[in-house]
């Protein structure tokens, strides 16, 4: 991580050249986004010392955390802090300067997380978070992070991995809206990008009185219905769509479809687009998240929380591997070892294709669990790995608070 220096020029502000994949580009993203968001014509100069312990390209949101940090520092130095929601929006938009068409979960958790809670996030119609406390168990629940050490750089592999999945889900949402007969409604027609969540909300708009029905149950009912709708909409193409077939389904040319999903900014490469599998994963994964929340909030002493929550994590990993195809051989191997070693639930973290895994383990079994992972995975793949490196790759974690400022007198 060599030192860098750059200038903020009037008009262009900051130039971000993605050709060399330098770490400073992520700082520039946050800086540029913040300067634009606070409309600062003459931003203050800054000397910044960066430090951190989150491994890069490991599925632990290091890039998003860095962009958020850069944006917050820039706002602080220039004397104008936005609301947390506006900081999230700024960080989400500005990270895309790097060339990855990302969402907003990483940035939301970086800014808005609360200690000892998971965060249930909704982006539409506006950003909302619901802290979800983990249930009290004996022994307590522990989460262990294990890094496969397979480098997964979203910005480098984006055209065939991350950005491709974004394009598949965006086109899937367009075709699903048409299948459901709602494509011409303003909520679907006049929004960019159209997402599966927006399609679902518009399809069920006005169908229920949310005040009289449990909100979690509404999620479950609607997501279950959308899984059926997705099978009907895409089931005729189980092996995927060509560009021409997708364009025909939407009554537009392939070129117009590419422009619709912004391939000029985020190019992708694929012969066939797996819309059925991506839709099945998106809706079933959201359903698992809602059920995870429902279990945590149930307060039912009869519930075997380890098995109930762990099963959902295992199902998630299976779906990531089989439907979203964002796992890799090392992730699959590590999750299998972990389950045999006492993990109730094991899945990848982050975008996938490498990086870290997360495991639900009873707290009193953590030490034994970590010994087995060291012996059966790390000793095999990285023989001779020293203690410091092992500690960086395999560790226990707990949910913490989001970003904060520390002022030194």
Catalytic residue at 106? yes
Angstrom distance (rounded) from CA 166 to CA 110:
21
Residues with pLDDT less than 70, the chain? 11-12, 154, 208-213
**74-106 burial, b for 16+ CB within 10 Å, e for fewer?**
bbeebeeebeeeebbbbbbbbbbbbbbbbbbbb
Other CB atoms within 10 A of residue 231 CB: 13
Rounded Cα distance, 307 and 9, in Å: 56
Predicted model pTM: 0.90
- Which residues are paired to 131 by β-bridges? 119
**Before 125, cis peptide (omega within 30)?**
yes
Marked catalytic residue, from 22, 39, 51, 106: 106
Please name the helix (run of DSSP H) or strand (run of DSSP E) that holds residue 131, with its range, or none: strand 128-133
What pLDDT does 223 receive? 97
How many H helices and E strands in the chain? 17, 6
pLDDT of 99 reads: 81
| Torsion from C-alpha of 374, 377, 381, 384, nearest 10 degrees | 10
Task: Give the torsion through C-alpha atoms of 397, 398, 403, 408, to 10 deg.
Answer: -80
**Inter-residue long-range contacts of 180-184, CB under 8 Å, 24+ positions, other chains counted:** 180/229, 180/233
Question: What is the phi/psi pair of residue 254, to 5°?
Answer: -55, -35
Q: Give the model's pLDDT for residue 409.
A: 82
DSSP strands (E only) in 5-66: none
pLDDT at residue 53 in the model: 83
pLDDT at 279: 98
- 377, 353 Cβ separation under 8 angstroms: no
Contact status, residue 158 vs residue 99, Cβ threshold 8 Å: yes
């Amino acid at each position: 991580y060599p030192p860098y220096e750059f200038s903020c020029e009037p008009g262009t502000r900051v130039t971000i050249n993605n050709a060399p994949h330098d770490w400073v580009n992520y700082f520039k993203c946050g800086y540029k986004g913040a300067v634009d968001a606070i409309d600062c014509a003459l931003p203050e100069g800054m000397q910044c010392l960066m430090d951190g312990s989150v491994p890069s390209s490991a599925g632990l949101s290091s890039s998003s955390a860095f962009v958020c940090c850069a944006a917050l520092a820039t706002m602080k130095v220039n004397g104008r802090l936005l609301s947390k929601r506006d900081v999230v929006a700024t960080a989400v938009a500005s990270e895309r300067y790097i060339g990855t068409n990302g969402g907003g979960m990483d940035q939301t958790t970086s800014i808005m997380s609360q200690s000892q809670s998971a965060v249930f996030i909704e982006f539409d119609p506006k950003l909302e978070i619901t802290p979800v406390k983990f249930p009290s168990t004996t022994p307590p629940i522990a989460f262990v992070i294990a890094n496969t050490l397979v480098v997964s750089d979203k910005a480098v592999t984006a055209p065939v991995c991350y950005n491709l999945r974004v394009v598949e889900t965006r086109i899937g949402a367009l075709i699903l809206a048409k299948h459901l007969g709602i494509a011409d409604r303003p909520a679907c027609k006049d929004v960019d990008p159209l997402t599966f969540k927006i399609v679902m909300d518009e399809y069920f708009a006005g169908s229920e009185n949310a005040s009289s029905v449990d909100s979690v149950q509404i999620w479950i009912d609607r997501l279950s219905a959308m899984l059926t709708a997705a099978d009907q909409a895409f089931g005729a193409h189980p092996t995927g769509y060509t560009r021409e077939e997708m364009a025909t389904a939407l009554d537009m040319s392939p070129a117009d479809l590419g422009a619709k999903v912004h391939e000029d900014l985020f190019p992708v490469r694929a012969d066939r687009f797996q819309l059925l599998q991506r839709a099945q994963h998106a809706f079933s994964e959201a359903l698992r998240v809602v059920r995870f929340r429902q279990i945590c909030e149930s307060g039912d002493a009869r519930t075997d929380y380890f098995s109930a929550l762990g099963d959902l994590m295992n199902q998630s990993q299976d779906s990531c591997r089989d439907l979203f195809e964002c796992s890799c051989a090392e992730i699959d191997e590590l999750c299998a070892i972990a389950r045999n070693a006492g993990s109730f639930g094991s899945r990848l973290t982050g975008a996938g294709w490498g990086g870290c895994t997360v495991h639900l383990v009873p707290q009193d079994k953590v030490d034994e669990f970590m010994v087995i992972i060291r012996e059966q995975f790390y000793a095999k793949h990285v023989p001779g790995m020293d203690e410091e490196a092992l500690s960086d790759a395999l560790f226990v974690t707990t949910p913490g608070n989001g970003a904060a400022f520390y002022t030194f007198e």
